[in-house]
Structure formats: C-alpha cells, structure tokens
C-alpha cells in the first residue's frame, strides 16, 4: 500500500494511505498516522464527491495547482502541498530574506520613487504598484540603501517578482 505525504498550511506533515474495502464500491479504509477510518467515498468524476464517516456527510471539491492540492470542504479551502522527500527546502538565510523588495500582487509599476544607490528611511514610499485601478505603495519597515532596481515604470510584474534589492540598515524583516 502506497502512502501519500502532504504538508498542510499550518506546516504539519501528514500521511495517508487509502485502501479499498471489500464491502463494495465506494467503501474504503483510510489510514492516517495511527488511526484507521472506515468510510464511504462516492465520486462521480475525479476531484468531486462526498465522504461519509460514521454517517456524517462531507461534500468536497479538489483541484491540483502545481504541487498543491486545494480541497474545498464546508466553505473553507485547505491547501495540501505534496511532500517530496527527495527535495529539501532551501535554507533561507536571514540576510537574503531582508534584501529584496518583491511585488505583493500582480500589476504594473506606476512609479519608482528612488534610484539605485539612494538610501531611504523606514516607511518611506519606494515603489507604487497599480492593479485593477488600485494603487499600492511599497515601503520597507527599516531604513536601508537601494542596491539595484529590478523593474521599470510601466512594467507588468507577477506576484512575488523582485522589484528592488537593497541593503537593510537593520538586516531583518522583508518589506511589506
């Protein structure tokens, strides 16, 4: 029996194996860590169906986006990252974390208020992004110096794209 491993949104590693029961179509035994649950699971197409555990019905919808499963249950969405034991998460150094300003939303660069080499104060507006007719001013919670500007006015940027690199006077906490 193959075991699937997921990492949940709260950072826990969870393992599950699902085995078909002899009782008939849709009957399963699910092994979660030390617990085994007997359940009925009816699904008419992949990613849509309902579970019945001790009589309690739970409808679900699940889709996969990249290496994540997003599962809708009872009006809430749970993100389950497919754990791949062969790839270890890159250790993030505190220094590397604090030296880039990245786009918190997709959009276009409306204004760049600093130049390369400029030093800035904490909370000083650095870059203004525009998305869906809304403006968002980006600043750093700490003072610092701009090392490199990685975007240009009018450029369309993706969420998480690096907009600027800087040396932080404080050395921690990424800008928000």
Q: Which residues bind another protein (CB under 8 A)?
A: 1-2, 4, 6, 8-10, 12, 14, 16-20, 25-26, 28, 30, 32, 35, 37, 39, 41, 43-47, 49, 51, 53, 58, 60-65, 69-78, 80, 82, 104-108, 110, 125, 128, 130-137, 156, 159
Residue 87 or 91 with smaller CB distance to another protein: 87
3-state secondary structure of 97: helix
Closer residue to another protein in complex, CB, 97/123: 123
Count other C-beta atoms under 10 Å from residue 157's C-beta: 21
Q: What's the closest the beta carbon of residue 3 comes to another protein, in angstroms?
A: 9
Residues in the chain: 176
Contact 151, 112 (CB under 8 A): yes
The minimum distance between CB 20 and another protein, in angstroms, equals 7
83, 172, 115, 176 alpha-carbon torsion, rounded to 10°: 60
The strand pair at 76-82 and 68-73 is best described as antiparallel
- C-alpha 47/C-alpha 50 separation (Å) is 10
* 130 neighbors 154 (Cβ within 8 angstroms): no
Least gap, CB of 112 to another protein (angstroms): 14
For another protein, which is the closer residue by CB, 16 or 167?
16
CB of 148 to another protein, least distance (A): 25
CA distance linking residue 53 with residue 73, whole number of Å: 14
Q: Which is nearer to another protein, 69 or 150 (CB)?
A: 69
Residue with Cβ nearer another protein (81 or 147): 81
- Distance in Å, CB of 86 to another protein, minimum: 17
The Cα angle at residue 98 between residues 96 and 99, in degrees rounded to 5: 70
């Amino acid at each position: 029996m193959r075991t699937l491993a997921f990492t949940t949104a709260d950072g826990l590693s969870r393992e599950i194996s699902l085995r078909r029961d002899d009782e008939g179509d849709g009957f399963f035994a699910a092994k979660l860590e030390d617990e085994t649950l007997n359940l009925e699971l009816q699904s008419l197409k992949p990613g849509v169906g309902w579970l019945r555990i001790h009589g309690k019905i739970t409808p679900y919808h699940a889709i996969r986006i990249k290496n994540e499963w997003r599962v809708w249950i009872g009006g809430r969405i749970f993100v389950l990252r497919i754990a791949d034991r062969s790839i270890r998460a890159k250790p993030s150094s505190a220094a590397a974390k604090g030296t880039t300003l990245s786009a918190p939303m997709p959009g276009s660069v409306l204004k760049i208020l600093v130049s390369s080499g400029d030093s800035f104060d904490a909370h000083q507006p650095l870059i203004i992004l525009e998305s869906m007719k809304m403006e968002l001013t980006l600043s750093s919670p700490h003072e610092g110096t701009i090392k490199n500007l990685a975007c240009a006015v009018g450029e369309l940027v993706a969420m998480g794209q690096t907009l600027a690199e800087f040396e932080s006077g404080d050395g921690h906490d990424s800008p928000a």
